[in-house]
Amino acid sequence: AQSVTQLGSHVSVSEGALVLLRCNYSSSVPPYLFWYVQYPNQGLQLLLKYTSAATLVKGINGFEAEFKKSETSFHLTKPSAHMSDAAEYFCAVSARYNTDKLIFGTGTRLQVFP
Amino acid sequence: EAGVAQSPRYKIIEKRQSVAFWCNPISGHATLYWYQQILGQGPKLLIQFQNNGVVDDSQLPKDRFSAERLKGVDSTLKIQPAKLEDSAVYLCASSLGVTGTSNQPQHFGDGTRLSIL
């Protein structure tokens, strides 16, 4: 079975500061891992995905995430926050080769202060 | 390309009434998903279709929820009768891949926000 834990339901940073959103996963089989962003009153938009190629994955809007098997983590980072990054971020896992059912975490709301 | 279209955007009903949501996926996408997103939680899969067949409906409350995907394109999700705990955003998503190719990204619509009074 797969599960995802996102540490911190709210994260606040200043504009220009480092963004770090934490995600730990549990999976009985090699996983695919995803980060999605949700702006108010909108659906989810894919930021990036890990599918077993490079462990450091680059996504849209300057975000990247690193897959660390030893730590079962897939944390999302961005070197310099922008006001437009304020949104809800969801980490998700699916089981490779078996199903494309996504299991989502509970989300982290990112606030960016000027 | 046009994205996933959902309607209505908002719906308010009283408990025990019925409601239906509509979804038009991205053209050519074989797989369609319905998710329920309760306030403060991540989306939870309700049902997954591949073309017009059901792949996974293990978390669909079948005593009150039903869904269909006619001709493998559009889909409707119905709730009858609605309960207070059904207040949520209902998201539709579609993907190009068939089941088992889970590296294909899912594309989401903007959702329908349902409020039960």
pLDDT in tens, B70-105: 888 999 999 999 999 999 999 999 988 765 555 678
pLDDT of residue B108: 93
Mean pLDDT, all residues of chain B = 91
Q: B13 falls in which pLDDT band (50, 70, 90)?
A: very high
CA–CA gap between residue A31 and residue A65 (Å, rounded): 15
Alpha-carbon dihedral B49, B54, B60, B61, rounded to 10 degrees: 140
- Choose the weakest-confidence range: A59-68, A97-106, B4-13, B21-30: A97-106
Q: A98 falls in which pLDDT band (50, 70, 90)?
A: low
Q: How far is A93 from chain B (nearest CA, A)?
A: 10
A40 — contact with chain B (CB < 8 Å)? no
pLDDT, mean of residues B4-32: 95
- Choose the weakest-confidence range: A36-40, A53-57, B17-21: A53-57
- In terms of Cα–Cα distance, which of B44, B98, B36, B33 is closest to A99? B98
pLDDT of residue A89: 97
What pLDDT digit, counting tens, does each position of A11-23 carry? 999 999 999 999 9
Query: Per the omega criterion (within 30 degrees of 0), is the bond before B61 cis?
Result: no
Q: Do A99 and B108 touch (CB under 8 A)?
A: no
pLDDT of residue A2: 82
Q: A96 falls in which pLDDT band (50, 70, 90)?
A: low
Mutate to test the interface with A, among B9, B23, B54, B103 (most CBs of A within 10 A): B103
